[in-house]
Amino acid sequence: MADYERTVEVAAPADGTFQCLADPANMPKYVAMMTTAVPAGGETVHVTAEVQGRHEEGDAHVRADPNARRLEWGGEGEGGYRGWLEVAETDGGSTVTVHIHAEHDSPDDETVINRAFDETMRRMKELVETGNSEK
């Protein structure tokens, strides 16, 4: 198991940044490998992803706390995947910190996770600052 954390500065107000990132419709626009995210009632979001040539699908618990500007999530099953993001106000906009906990079996898994995490942070910044993101 491993923990990963990244922070990115965003040229946008913190409240708007959080609203954008907490919207399940926007998650596939910034989460690398995610292809869909559909609310399934309550705090459940049904997600699909293409991971190293495999189609993956399942439900995730997603809880948003707008007052704290914090989003927490966790996957169903044995994967041990969970995380959170927090948006903080800065003088010039905001910062987004993302923390992920993932269990992996090999150094190759860690490489894939790091690449996907870097791509996610790039897309997140682009989505918030420009209103769209390349997929």
pLDDT values of the chain reduced to their tens digit, one per residue, 135 residues: 688 999 999 999 999 999 999 999 999 999 999 999 999 999 999 999 998 888 989 999 999 999 999 999 997 665 567 899 999 999 989 999 999 988 766 666 788 888 999 999 999 999 999 976 555
Beta strands in the chain (DSSP E): 2-10, 34-39, 44-51, 54-65, 70-75, 82-90, 93-102
Report pLDDT for 110.
81
Report pLDDT for 102.
80
CA gap 20, 104 in Å, rounded? 30
**Model's pTM, two decimal places?**
0.88
Q: Where are the domains of the chain?
A: 2-130
DSSP string, 82-115: EEEEEEEEETTEEEEEEEEEE--SSHHHHHHHHH
Contact status, residue 22 vs residue 124, Cβ threshold 8 Å? no
Report pLDDT for 105.
61
CATH number of 2-130: 3.30.530.20
HSE of 11 in the Cβ direction (CA atoms, 13 Å)?
4
